[in-house]
Chain A
Amino acid sequence: MATLKPMPVATKISAPFWQALKENQLKIQQCNSCDGWVFYPRNHCTHCFAHDLQWKQISGEGVLYSYTLTRIPTMPEFSDEMPQALAVVELAQGVRINTTLIDVAEQDITIGMAVKPVFDKVSIDGETLLRFTSTENVGGVRDYIDPLKDLTRNDQGQVQVPVSNLTALSALADNKFTDWSNQIVVDQALINAFAELSGDDYWLHTDPERAKKESPFKTTIAHGSLVQVLQSRLTIALPFEIIGFKTMVNYGSNRLRFPAPVPAGSTIYGRSKVQDISVSHKGVQLTLEVHIHVVGSDKPSVINDLVILYR
């Protein structure tokens, strides 16, 4: 699951903290030597330097130490949270945590107010961020809401994602392949036609007699760039349609590889997955990882990380 917002990447030091959050628990470290509490996770105690910390489950109740409401998002990706209620919470154990307040009206936020944790499920995989809310609220767990759930679908059943809906866009980058496309045959006639068009008439592609004797493949093979462009004849059913943009540009490729040959006469098909979505001053950039295989072969003949720019 990719997200446009930066996500925490656990280390071997911090993993128990993030794992506990997934299980709707808050665990922080306490020093066995001086009883001092430590946050964020470390291997040592910041009070006495002893390397003897133990994870302890705590309730997470605390007070709001400070906060700000942002009137300009700190990154465009956070524009769905406006105003962001960025907060510092001081837990009963005395340690402070950077977080956000949720479900508290602007005028009800006061420094010193009592707060408690909310375990916010931010991805379908259960990744959990630690947010806080007023002790007058229910708190507990905030379930993951699929941002694609309430979007309309076109007549092909594709979910229609507006290019301005960054939350929904981020949900598309799930790294899951589509179904296989239709199949097409790459025969010698097609290879010859491409050789003539491109000027690449190397014998490995165009001379079946010589290839039988001298090629390691024992037959002619299609040009890698031919198989690459045949993507246009493969109908790969993406589960979504991006809408609401002014222009869509093929921005090129981040990676183009031909890991396996396509012998003349092979049948090929393809599939793709959304590898990445990012936002920059140029617009929204979608990286589509396209794989083309000889039917039945595990090894792709083409890997193409296509970059498409919407604005």
Chain B
Amino acid sequence: MGLSGNAAIVGAAQYKPEKYQTAPQMFHLEQVADLAHKALLDAGLHKDDLDGLVINGPHFHEASVFVPAMAAEYLGIEVNFAEVVDLGGCTAVAQIWRAAAAIEMGLCQAVLCVIPARMAPLGPDEDPAWMAQAMRFGGHSTAYGAPEAEFDLPYGHMGQNTGYAMIAQRYAAQYGYDKSAMAKIAVDQRFNAQYHKDAIFRGKELTVEEVLASKLVADPLHVLEIVMPVAGGAAVIVASKELAARAKKRPAFVTGFGERLSFKSPSYAKDMTVTPVAEAAKRAFAMAGLTPQDIHAAQIYDCYTITVLLSLEDAGFVPKGEGQRFIKEHNLTWKGDFPLNTHGGQLSFGQAAAAGGFSQVIEAFDQISNSAEGRQLKGCDNIFVSGTGGVMSEQGALILQGG
């Protein structure tokens, strides 16, 4: 059961992360077409090769229903496979395996996976205040009958920070908490960002002391352990083995995946410190026939430092409770013995909403296809990628391998 490695990432495009205030504004449809064009050029494939589309549904600007149909029509393509994914930060990883699965089933040969994340221009009479209002509650629904509207919001439980903070506090009570180890995650990733021309924090190095001196947001999380939202967007082309043979770059074959959704609020987790990636990664490794020891680089979804720690442990890279020691004992930079988030991670590359998850996928592709410029790993064939949505609510794992 699972993939046979007959589908691969063959091309990608990603907007440079920018501050919302200064980033270009484009309709989401316009971004989809632009990103698709750039990703096809990267792959060396043609528009007519595309016969599948996976797109993010939530926050799509020009439509809230029939998003794939609108986007396919706008692009000028017909597809045999159309899908919307609604898994927050896990969406990118989830799009890739869905595309690979559809290709292996023979539904299609080349799938555009795409998440636009630049702001759309405001309509002539549109009040810019609506967006600030909509963002007030983070990922929490305010709809009548939504459990979180009734049982979370009145107590001030909202947004992402406090949920992750409570997970970290629980972890600290169970296993201990080494603030400097947690800060080192951000610091090593910041080092990597110095070697990516598009990273938002390129040119700004960081020390453990600076992380720990930064403002506490919710105990124990400092502001420099929390991802910065940016404008951006990304597209990835997944294609069949046959098409991949025609591609310009070395393909990254999708040989394993897993997905697990455990809850919306971590308060209702069976165990708050055991995250859904445990199940997802186990399945992904088994499918690929690999173990964590076979992995040459890990691109771990990093909305917070605590996300990285728990994902490293639960994905099997280090036993539960030993992650902080592991982080201190290893050099996590691209020059080190455990290359982690070699583009800087979203913490230092920037998080373009749900497209932020693509930064990890695309970095894996860049490493495998030998396109990682100044931070290229040698002999990098096996990469683990994770995605995380909500508050550790839903996680996905991918194994990508050079052919």
Chain A residue, CB-CB nearest to B128: A281
The contact string, 1 if C-beta is below 8 Å from chain A, for chain B 111-154, is 00000000000000000010011001100001011010111111
Could you tell me the distance in whole angstroms from the C-beta of A20 to the nearest C-beta in chain B?
14
Q: Is B173 an interface residue (CB 8 A)?
A: yes
Q: Are A9 and B162 in contact (CB under 8 A)?
A: no
Please tell me if the beta carbons of A71 and B173 are within 8 angstroms of each other in the complex.
no
**With a CB–CB cut-off of 8 A, which chain A residues contact B161?**
70, 74
Proximity bits, A89-119, B CB within 8 Å = 1, else 0: 0000000111110000000001110000000
Q: How close is B83's CB to chain A, nearest CB, in angstroms?
A: 28
B245-266 residues with Cβ-Cβ distance < 8 A to A are 265
A residues less than 8 Å from B152 (CB atoms): 98
Residues of chain B within 8 A (CB-CB) of A10 are 150
A257-308 interface (Cβ within 8 A of B) = 280-282
* Cβ-defined contact, A86 with B166, below 8 A: yes
Whether A280 pairs with B150 at a CB distance below 8 angstroms is no
Number of cross-chain contacts by CB at 8 Å: 106
Whether the Cβ atoms of B151 and A72 lie closer than 8 Å is: no
Return the chain A residue nearest B165 by Cβ.
A68
Residue among B142, B149, B267 making CB contact with A88, cutoff 8 Å? B267
A286 to B186, CA, bound (A): 43
Q: What is the minimal beta-carbon distance from A15 to any residue of chain B, in angstroms?
A: 11
For A89, give the chain B residue with the smallest CB separation.
B267
The answer, yes or no, to whether A199 is at the interface (CB within 8 Å) is no
Select A129's contact among B137, B155, B170, beta carbons within 8 Å: B155
Alpha-carbon distance A299/B149, docked complex (angstroms)? 36
Which residues from chain B contact A111 at a C-beta distance below 8 Å?
Answer: 169-170, 173
A8 in contact with B154 (CB, 8 Å):
yes
Given contacts A11-B150, A280-B132, contact A86 B156 (CB under 8 A): yes
Q: How far is the CA of A131 from the CA of B155 in the complex (A)?
A: 9
Residue of B132, B144, B152, B219 most packed against chain A (CB within 10 A): B219
- Please measure, in the bound complex, the distance between the C-alpha atom of A84 and the C-alpha atom of B162, giving whole angstroms: 10
Could you give, for residues 54-67 of chain A, a 1 whenever the CB lies within 8 Å of some chain B CB and a 0 otherwise? 00000000000111
Chain-A contact segment, one of B8-16, B21-29, B210-218: B210-218
Q: Is the CB of B144 within 8 A of A11?
A: yes
Instruction: Please name all residues of chain B whose beta carbon is closer than 8 Å to the beta carbon of A11 when the two chains form the complex.
Output: 144-145, 150
Whole-angstrom distance between the Cβ of A277 and the nearest chain B Cβ: 15
In the complex, what distance in Å separates the CA atom of A88 from the CA atom of B217? 18
Contact between B216 and A71, CB atoms less than 8 A apart? yes
The interface bits of chain B over 272-287 (1 if a CB of A lies within 8 angstroms of the residue's CB, else 0) are 1000000000000000
Q: Once the chains bind, are B156 and A100 in contact (CB under 8 Å)?
A: yes
Q: Which residues of chain A are within 8 angstroms of B166 by Cβ–Cβ distance?
A: 66-68, 86, 88
A71's contact among B150, B218, B265, by CB below 8 Å, is which?
A: B218
- Contact indicator per residue, chain A 1-18, by CB within 8 Å of chain B (1) or not (0): 000011111110010000
Residues of the A chain whose Cβ atoms lie less than 8 Å from the Cβ of B169: 66-68, 111
Task: Report B's interface with A, CB cutoff 8 A.
Answer: 129, 132-133, 136-137, 142, 144-145, 147, 149-159, 161-162, 165-167, 169-170, 173, 215-219, 265, 267-268, 272
Task: Show 25 residue pairs from A and B whose CB-CB distance is below 8 angstroms, ordered by the A residue.
Answer: A6-B137, A6-B149, A6-B154, A8-B151, A40-B147, A40-B150, A67-B169, A68-B162, A71-B217, A71-B219, A72-B218, A74-B156, A74-B157, A74-B158, A74-B161, A74-B162, A75-B136, A75-B158, A96-B267, A96-B268, A98-B151, A100-B155, A110-B173, A131-B155, A281-B132
List 8 additional contacts besides A71-B215, A71-B217, A111-B169; criterion CB under 8 Å.
A5-B156, A6-B149, A9-B144, A65-B272, A68-B166, A78-B156, A110-B173, A280-B132
- Report, nearest first, the 10 A-B pairs whose CB atoms are least far apart: A68-B165, A111-B173, A6-B153, A66-B170, A66-B166, A71-B216, A68-B218, A88-B267, A78-B156, A69-B219
Chain A interfacial positions (CB closer than 8 Å to B): 5-11, 14, 40, 65-75, 78, 81, 84, 86, 88, 96-100, 110-112, 129, 131, 280-282
